[in-house]
Structure 1
Amino acid sequence: MASVKFVAVSRGVKEIMEYVTNKEKTVDRLITGVNCVAQTAVQEFDVVKKQFRKTDGRSYYHIVQAFSPEDKLDFETAHEIGLELAGYFQGFQAVVATHMNTAHKHNHIILNSVNFENGKKFHQSAKELAQVKEFSNRLCQQHGLSIIEVKADPFAIPLWKKKLRKTIKNCMEQSYDRADFVRYMEMLGYKVKWEESHKYITYTTPEGYACRDSKLFDQTLRRERMEEYFAMGGKEYLDSRIAWRELGEPVPTLDDAVCGLASIFEALAVSDNNRFHLETVHHSEEEIQRMLARGRKVERTAEYAVDDEQDEEFEQYHGFSMRM
């Protein structure tokens, strides 16, 4: 996914310029001046500031525009997109350098803070930053690249994200394991990046929006919750919760099953044996063994402080006593 980050700089532009134009990171054809000559940009920036007597305060902005390693993008196209982004700041001088030394392609844009046409300074308000990110997203969409939402707000969920959340839950309800889930999502046009080395699950919608599980604002869809659900068999576990419900109780939902599991694994984690056994009353012995295996407590012997009524209810549903 493409992302844009701003860094305000008060001094040291020469050092920054040397860094972004370092020949170990880029080549001459990927270094371009906008409204200035790249090789003399530092001096030209200073001339404009002195001309309008604005040599104090924030002097330069360092903008980093990064692209997803999964996007099919060559360095020349990445550089072109960087130049188009620099062009958004009309009347401002900039140097665009595209780096080639990392897995993800990215542009560095060094922007003079003073407009050479009218002498006004660029102000980095939250609203203006959001507008720049929106513009960068549009550029990426035009080039067929993935994009990132401008702002993650739990109280203003965009329609595409609501659809993504609903799609994930529908696929979870049909899937027995992670491989099933990814396959169902891909059949619907969604990409799923779920790797052991990454903390988050990242989804890319058919429209190109990229979103981490943590930005879906739904605890059921967090990676750790989904891993617990699929460790218990996914659809198999959800079906068992529906089958074990008491007469007259509403049919358990996916959210009910996942949140219930979260409570059970929390009890395991803090060694709350009483709560663990009470919350697993309606589970089979096989399901309990799966939970213990997931909680790495299969070989641990626990002391159970329970009364006869609890033990009788537990034995009724499981076929064996809580007293060992």
Structure 2
Amino acid sequence: MANIKFIAVSRSLSGILDYVTNREKTVERLISGVNCMAQTAQDEFEAVKKQFRKTDGRSYYHIVQAFAPDDPLDFDTAHESGLKFAKYFKGYQCVVVTHMNTAHIHNHIIMNSVNFENGQKFHQSAREMQQAKEYSNQLCREYGLSFTESKADPFRIPAWKKRLCRTIKEAMENCATREEFIAFMAEYGYKVRWEANQKYITYTTPENVRCRDNKLFDQTLLRSSMEAYFDMGGCEYLESRIDATEYGELLPTVDDAVCGLISILDALNTGDNDRFHLETLHHSKQEIRRILERGGKIDRTVEYAVDDEEEEEEYEQYHGFSMRM
């Protein structure tokens, strides 16, 4: 996966070139010039500006091309990709440097703001920037790397994303734990990165498209929703909701189960006892205990669930058991 960022910085041209070529970050073979010599890039950049009388304003652009830590990529291949990406900007001089000092390999591309062929100052519209990112994705495909969708749009869902959503929900319908879910997805060719120190669940499709859970535009598939669902037993919890469905009513889907669970947790966290009691009407004692544990309320169950004897009797009528443990 290559993330492309255009960075606005206040360093002088000499300062940024010194920074990106620092030998604590890279080595000589990973420093190259496109339409210029890397060693004399500053002089060449300035000569072009003087030639076209465009020495004012921004003197260069700084682009960072960053790759995912788990992509099968070495420094030389990353540098080759950076050179190809720099050549996308026709007529512009660039210095391309691959840094080796972080967990993820990344390229710095320093580009002259003036085109040496026609003297035009560099400018990118939002559409042109999107096209550049799409070209970066094309390079990722060529090198067998994962890549992000070029633009997330909740109203235009691509076919691969629809398949991903269907597969996730099918896995949720058949798996009781996070581990089972990840294994199920793997059988269909999907990689799942679901780690404690990561904010999002990240999926990589069989086509090598990488996508975060928040880009699926489905509340059921958010990390917080899925963790709550699997904390409750996943498919076993869904089955319990189906078993509790009265005759003649529509059987709940995984979306219904997750939506109901999130509503219960919201009632728990906001202190809405009436809604909590009502929405857990057909839940077992074990399920309610799990919900209370997840909401951090288990240590004060009596205070939370039962305010007085009258409410306890009402709760027993709802559930057939007391919350006094």
Q: State TM-score, norm by structure 1.
A: 0.95
Alpha-carbon separation, structure 1, partners of 2:6 and 2:279:
49
Alpha-carbon separation, structure 1, partners of 2:310 and 2:249:
26
User: What amino acid maps onto 1:102 in structure 2?
Assistant: T
Q: Which residue of 1 aligns with 2:282?
A: 282
SS of 1:302's equivalent? Answer: helix
SS of 2:32's equivalent? Answer: strand
Q: Which residue of 2 aligns with 1:318?
A: 319
Q: Trace 1:1-324 onto structure 2 (pairs within 5 A).
A: 1-8=1-8, 12-300=12-300, 301-302=302-303, 304=306, 314-315=315-316, 318-321=319-322
State the shift of 1:283 in Å: 0.6
SS of 1:110's equivalent? Answer: strand
Alpha-carbon separation, structure 1, partners of 2:299 and 2:273:
14
Which segments of 5 or more consecutive residues in structure 2 lack a partner in the other structure?
A: none
Q: Report the number of matched residues.
A: 323
Q: What's the % identity of the aligned pairs? A: 65
Alpha-carbon separation, structure 2, partners of 1:161 and 1:18:
42
Q: 1:165 to 1:204 in 2, by over 3 A?
A: same
1:242-281 Cα distance to aligned partner (Å, 9 max, x none): 1101222111111110011001111111222222111100
SS of 1:73's equivalent? Answer: coil
Q: CA RMSD of the aligned region, Å?
A: 1.9
| Contact 1:190-1:205 at 8 Å conserved across structures | yes
SS of 1:45's equivalent? Answer: helix
| Contact 1:6-1:63 at 8 Å conserved across structures | yes
State the shift of 1:10 in Å: 6.8
Q: 1:47 to 1:29 in 2, by over 3 A?
A: same
State the shift of 1:39 in Å: 1.0
Q: 1:285 to 1:150 in 2, by over 3 A?
A: same
Which segments of 5 or more consecutive residues in structure 1 lack a partner in the other structure?
A: none
1:54-100 Cα distance to aligned partner (Å, 9 max, x none): 12233211010011110111100000000000111111100000000
SS of 1:236's equivalent? Answer: helix
1:192-232 Cα distance to aligned partner (Å, 9 max, x none): 00000111110000001101111111110000100000000
| Contact 1:137-1:147 at 8 Å conserved across structures | yes
| Contact 2:312-2:322 at 8 Å conserved across structures | no
SS of 2:299's equivalent? Answer: coil
Alpha-carbon separation, structure 2, partners of 1:295 and 1:9:
44
Alpha-carbon separation, structure 1, partners of 2:311 and 2:243:
24
Alpha-carbon separation, structure 1, partners of 2:309 and 2:214:
41
